[in-house]
Amino acid sequence: MQEGDYLYPIPPEAVFTNLSLFMGEEELRGEVLPADEARRIYEEIVRRKKDPALIELVGHGVLRARVFPIDPGDTRRVILRYTQILGKDGDLLRLRYPRIVGIVPGTEARETSRPDLRTQRRHPFTLTIRVTGAAYFATPYSPTHTIEVRERGRDELEIVHSGDAAARDFELFLPLRESFVGASLVAHAPGSEPGYFMLLISPPAHGDEVHIPRDLTLVLDVSGSMSGVKMEQAREALDQILAGLRPEDRFRLITFSSFVRSFSDDFVRADRATLREARDYLSAVRAEGSTNIMDALREALEPEAERGRLSMIVFLTDGKPTVGETAPQQIAEAAERLRDGERVFAFGVGYDVNTYLLDRMAEGGRGTVSYVGPGDDVEEAVSSLTRKISFPALSDLRIVQAPADLEDLYPNPLPDLFYGEDLVLFGRYRGDGSGRLVLEGTRAGETQRFTYDVELPRRENDNDFIPRLWAARKAGALTAHVRLHGADPEVVEEIRQLGLRYGIITEYTSYLVEEPLLAMTRDQDFALDRAVELAAAPAEATGAEAFKRADASSRLRQADALEEAEAVVAGVMAPEGRPGHGAAAVRHVGRKLFVLRDGTWTDMTFDDSLQVIELAPYSEAYFELARRLPAIREYLALGDQLIIAGDGVVLKLVADGATEWDSQNLRAVLNGFEGSL
């Protein structure tokens, strides 16, 4: 039997109506607390219960509801009502929903043993948001959590997140639809280095305007290994693509095994009769023979792309080349010579695919590569691409003007823009200012220009999700570069530094984490050796490990939400044959990576030659630091044994540390961590 203590950090701009907590059918009302009183309560609770999840809330105004008794196994329902005016960033409306809402039950029972922070800070979380006036908005986007957007009637959207997510605030952006193509820029600028930005480019949800006609080439591997369920799923997937063609589109259908066969010698119109014949052709295909990838690519790339039409190739295979030219590097180079503007979207099915070849195809073809694991649904994987490429809006996108110097953009080059699909771009900028952002693109053979007013601030502490998403995108791109072009020491070191600084587990930082002593000495040679080991020769880029690495870097390059990036890193931390190895010893918080060493969460950038300042957890000095340096709260929430490195100074939490601040040490900590968290 316990007392329930429900605490909710209310947004500063919210107007509270009421809070109800039910005991059976009895409704109990909550109370509103001012910030000072909330702080006092929080500090008392933290000292008593030592719940690290509460540290992040120090200083917030909160709502509180208490109920006693709660019997073992009982559930209490809470209804919270408040009105909030959404903030506006450029052409975006923004909703932030607090995720850390109270005390994890049973904390007292865990006080005698060290709590498992990974499970303590992860809670089932389901959120449903209903948006009326849907016509005013482009596609909703969350940079923190994966969401599903559903239409409810003609003028209402339902946005749903459901999962066991890390306890971080939920962020949602609602882009306003004000022109043919809308663009909104959100920035994060620490002030001591180039800033970070996220650019959200939103076309109309439905393509009622002029469409870009497509020339679509579907290439299907029908070798013997595709027999059975894979073949049936592939047929269904291509049938969906054919069903999405419009009268102005043209298509080709190519199948290959030992030999290459085509439904027609040239592109044909997507009229009803021709589509019926193409489906009959597909249904008659049988999976047999070997894999002649070179001739299939030559057949697909031979026709010249026509001006005013968007030429796209969807290439699906489950094997490595075994007939004709079998050297992946030679095949990739031949494909690059033949390509003259076609977009290539490749699908690798199963562990036998050559990941080097598929990555090279997509790299030069301004498309994407997706990997479908053994037993996964081929049709489902292709369907997501089908929805995306159904209605092209603009091709050959480029930024031609901005109020500051933009650099390190991902994805790069910019992919094409499709109706109903937002394009999310992450990058960095030097300088600052307000002014025009000019975006150019091609539609139906004509160049079009779009101008937006944006601000790139000198300093902006909000939007701290942007650096990690930028780093994830960049790590994915650089890792793919190493796999395709060899282990250049400078590139490997750049990937390693990304992992250390931004808490992105890469193939190389993961390796170092598994060897804590090496991780702490930060020996570059080990990362380079690991890179050489993983950058297999093109012909050997096959099998389960190569598949997993290629899939991870591909998904990191496309990750639009922190939750997606963390799902990828979780996979990287469980190498083939060693499930879950090292996962319990690593945490990434904010822009830092921590390793658990001898019970202490240790910053991977820790250098014991720096000045070390020791602080007693939960002391007056501890809470004063949390108030004066809000950015450090999420790091303090790791627990009461912590080492965190700043600029020229290290903060260490130990039981016998200082309980009051010496003015010189406080100044050193504030200066050392300002802008580095």
pLDDT tens digit sequence for 111-143: 323 333 333 445 678 899 999 988 888 889 999
**Which has more confidence, 520 or 652?**
652
The sign of the torsion formed by the CA atoms of 547, 548, 550, 556 equals positive
Q: Which among 546, 232, 240, 218 has a CA at the least distance from the CA of 377?
A: 232
* pLDDT surpassing 50 at residue 506: yes
* pLDDT surpassing 60 at residue 576: no
Which residue ranges does the chain devote to CATH 2.60.40?
Answer: 182-208+392-456
For every residue of 199-228, DSSP letters joined together read EEEE--SS--SPPPPEEEEEEEE-SGGGTT
- pLDDT at residue 50, rounded to an integer: 61
406 class by beta-carbon count within 10 Å (0-12 exposed, 13-18 middle, 19+ buried): buried
Which residue ranges does the chain devote to CATH 3.40.50.410?
Answer: 214-389
- pLDDT at residue 116, rounded to an integer: 39
**Which has more confidence, 185 or 583?**
185
Q: Cβ(428)–Cβ(552) under 8 Å?
A: no
Q: Where are the alpha helices (DSSP H) in 462-506?
A: 465-485, 489-502
- pLDDT at residue 165, rounded to an integer: 60
* pLDDT surpassing 70 at residue 59: no
Q: What is the mean pLDDT of the chain?
A: 80
Q: What is the pLDDT of residues 596-626, one digit of tens each?
A: 888 899 888 887 788 999 999 989 999 899 8
CATH superfamily membership of 214-389: von Willebrand factor, type A domain (3.40.50.410)
- pLDDT at residue 659, rounded to an integer: 94
Average confidence (pLDDT) over 382-404: 85
Q: Rounded to whole angstroms, how far apart are CA atoms 289 and 308?
A: 38
Question: Encoding tokens for residue 375?
Answer: 């037993």
* pLDDT surpassing 60 at residue 206: no
* pLDDT surpassing 90 at residue 643: yes
* pLDDT surpassing 60 at residue 60: no
**Which has more confidence, 185 or 541?**
185
For the chain, first and last CA: distance in Å? 41
pTM passes above 0.85:
no
Residue type, 226: M
Q: Cβ(30)–Cβ(6) under 8 Å?
A: yes
* pLDDT surpassing 70 at residue 210: no
Residues 6+ apart with CB under 8 A from 149: 139, 140, 157, 158, 159
Tokens 């300088």 sit at which residue?
431
* pLDDT surpassing 60 at residue 233: yes
Measure Cα distances from 317 to 370, 469, 546 in Å: 11, 31, 16
* pLDDT surpassing 80 at residue 521: no
Average confidence (pLDDT) over 264-284: 92
Q: Cβ(366)–Cβ(343) under 8 Å?
A: yes
- pLDDT at residue 356, rounded to an integer: 87
* pLDDT surpassing 70 at residue 520: no
Q: What is the pLDDT of residues 86-117, one digit of tens each?
A: 877 777 888 988 776 544 444 333 332 333 33
Question: How many CB atoms within 10 Å of residue 2?
Answer: 17
Contacts of residues 637-641 at CB distance under 8 Å and 24 or more positions apart, as own/partner, are: 637/52, 637/53, 637/54, 637/55, 637/56, 637/121, 637/589, 638/52, 638/117, 638/587, 638/589, 638/594, 638/601, 639/52, 639/117, 639/601, 640/50, 640/52, 641/599, 641/600, 641/601
* pLDDT surpassing 70 at residue 575: no
Query: Is 182-208+392-456 a CATH 1.10.10 domain?
Result: no
Q: Rounded to whole angstroms, how far apart are CA atoms 425 and 470?
A: 9
* pLDDT surpassing 90 at residue 172: yes
* pLDDT surpassing 70 at residue 579: no
Q: Rounded to whole angstroms, how far apart are CA atoms 77 and 3?
A: 14
Of 44-48, 148-152, 302-306, highest mean pLDDT: 148-152
Confidence of residue 407 (pLDDT cuts 50, 70, 90): very high
Question: Encoding tokens for residue 86?
Answer: 């959404």
Confidence of residue 669 (pLDDT cuts 50, 70, 90): very high
Q: Rounded to whole angstroms, how far apart are CA atoms 256 and 262?
A: 9
